[in-house]
Structure 1
Amino acid sequence: MANHLNFDIYDLELTAVSNNSELRRLLIATANRSILVVEDINCSIELKDRSTDELPQESDEPNDPRYKKVTLSGLLNFIDGLWSSCGDERIIIFTTDYKEKLDPALLRPGRMDMHIHMSYCTPSAFKALALNYLEIKDHHLFNKIEEHIETTEVSPAEVAEQLMRNDTVDKILEGLIEFLKVKKIENEQVKAKKEEQELKNKEKAMIKGTDSKVKKNEEVDEQVMRNDRVDKVLEGLVELLKAKKSQNDQD
């Protein structure tokens, strides 16, 4: 984007910014016709959804420890507040792996005007990569590669890495096909292990619940089989059940 638009580009690390005032100064210092990139914004500062998580209160007092950090309010003002208008042709790009964890106020139109999902590689993305790296628009292996890409979860970066090999076009594309075959097998193995682990966890939970029931039944049987008068046995059973209920509540 920066090359295409001939814009300057800035990489902003929010964790290195001490407070909202410094963030504002950095914004003013950036040049016109520039791109400002904030990577992994969900890991930088507290930007969780305020409707589900209670965030620390903000402070404008310099001596308050809460003042010495960038806040959600400061970032919102940074994006579309008064100071954000001090400049022309500025693009701000945020990246995140967990969009759902960000506060809706940060995601709404006017602050983040365009949301782009970076998915796994698609056939059209592969063709664009082939054009960029191999300078070809078509090849007799394209159909086979596209079939593999449609059924394999592989990132564009992984495909690009295969296309950057120093070899002939045929060898590179054949190598990509083999890579996609291996990648598909690896994905299936990972998926199978995950499903197996989930099944084991469910079985453990069921066994734990069964053991608990068996233990309770054994305790009841033991109480009933006591060699005592019926009323004493029943009174003892009532006390046992009360004690078990209290223990379960504490757990």
Structure 2
Amino acid sequence: MKTLKLFTLKNDRMHGPGGNPWQSVNLDHPSTFETLAMDTEIKNMVIDDLKRFVNRKEFYRKVGKAWKRGYLLFGPPGTGKSSLIAAMANYLNFDVYDLELTDLRSNSDLRRLLISTANRSILVVEDIDASIDLSERKSARPPRQPSMYPFHYNEGSKVTLSGLLNFIDGLWSSCGDERIIVFTTNHKEKLDPALLRPGRMDVHIHMSYCTPCGFKMLVSIYLRITEHPLITEVEQMIGTNKVTPAEVGEQLLKSDDPEVALRGMIEFLEKKKESEAKAFQKNQEVTKTEVLPKPGEEQNGETSSGESELVDL
């Protein structure tokens, strides 16, 4: 099995024609589908979809589609999106290309990068909703002020929505075979609907907060146990708390003693629930304050002077 690589863009990639714009390091991420804290049903769905994809080269040619597959991973931070990408790479034995859209100056830059990626690879665009304004349906924004460093790539991206769509499923998307494209976002609702349809983002995977099933998986990985009197208690608390797999893993790392680690987990969940309850109560108080009438405003059909206000029906 080959050594997997993680590719990122070179800062000087535009210097000199014909040069490779990517630089790489070994991808040693240990995440696998066996270690992912995901519901078994969703995990098996992803595995089956990947198996079907890599075995359908002739089918894609027969129906006239580029041999690629698009995934959208969405959900709160810390729910395992990066770990799932690493598990996909390890499962398929595919290299990973990490593309930062804000580093690109134009649609042409995007096309050149696509051409320079290898077959049998995963192209990742993380936090797509936050990385660039992709909507062409919004009103024009005011022009940017001139920069002190006019050739700095982070000055602002000029990649457009149409350019990105052409990159995903237009003519340029057929430049290469057996490609996986993964987009991640914390806010799916912010994405333009044109990006979400099949053929662009074929599979939408909700990376949720930790479930009891995911917790048991993490306990078996971190503490190497499958049974303990406190596991059931924590599972019940997990079901009523919004806690990410990353938070659970951090708590389980604090001790090698299962008793100590699980009691620490219970204490963490109790404090988290108490903190969320206080935040909710404070928000309710603020809301009530905002809706209370100010002096001189109408209340119950009367003005501040106490006279009834007539309303024409």
For the aligned pair, the TM-score class normalised by the smaller chain equals: 0.7 to 0.9
C-alpha deviation, 1:140, in angstroms: 2.4
The reply on whether 1:123 has 2:212 as its aligned counterpart is: yes
For structure 2, the 5+ residue unaligned runs are 1-87, 142-155, 308-313
Is contact 1:23-1:70 (8 Å) kept? yes
| Equivalent position of 1:144 in the other structure | 233
Per-residue displacement from partner, 1:175-212 (whole Å, max 9, x unpaired)? Answer: 11111111111111111111111111112xx2166179
**Which has the larger strand fraction?**
2
Q: What is the alpha-carbon distance in structure 2 between the residues aligned to residue 208 and residue 76 of structure 1?
A: 54
| Equivalent position of 2:297 in the other structure | 210
| Equivalent position of 1:90 in the other structure | 179
Aligned in 2, Cα 1:191/1:179: closer, same or farther, shift over 3 Å?
same
Aligned in 2, Cα 1:192/1:49: closer, same or farther, shift over 3 Å?
farther
Per-residue displacement from partner, 1:11-64 (whole Å, max 9, x unpaired)? Answer: 1110111100111111111122222211111112222483xx3467xxxxxxxx
| Equivalent position of 2:89 in the other structure | 2
Partner of 1:178, secondary structure, is helix
TM-score by length of 1: 0.73
Aligned in 2, Cα 1:209/1:44: closer, same or farther, shift over 3 Å?
farther
Q: Indicate the structure whose relative CO is greater, using CA pairs within 8 Å and at least 6 residues apart.
A: 2
| Equivalent position of 2:262 in the other structure | 173
Partner of 2:206, secondary structure, is coil
| Equivalent position of 2:61 in the other structure | none
| Equivalent position of 1:192 in the other structure | 281
**Which has the larger helix fraction?**
1
Q: What is the alpha-carbon distance in structure 2 between the residues aligned to residue 136 and residue 153 of structure 1?
A: 24
Q: What is the alpha-carbon distance in structure 1 between the residues aligned to residue 223 and residue 91 of structure 2?
A: 20
Partner of 1:154, secondary structure, is coil
| Equivalent position of 1:183 in the other structure | 272
Q: What is the alpha-carbon distance in structure 2 between the residues aligned to residue 160 and residue 84 of structure 1?
A: 38
| Equivalent position of 1:100 in the other structure | 189
Q: Would you say how many aligned residue pairs link Structure 1 and Structure 2? A: 204
Partner of 2:177, secondary structure, is coil
C-alpha deviation, 1:93, in angstroms: 1.3
Partner of 1:93, secondary structure, is strand
TM-score by length of 2: 0.59
Q: Which amino acid aligns with 1:164?
A: L
Q: What is the alpha-carbon distance in structure 1 between the residues aligned to residue 162 and residue 211 of structure 2?
A: 38
Is contact 1:41-1:96 (8 Å) kept? yes
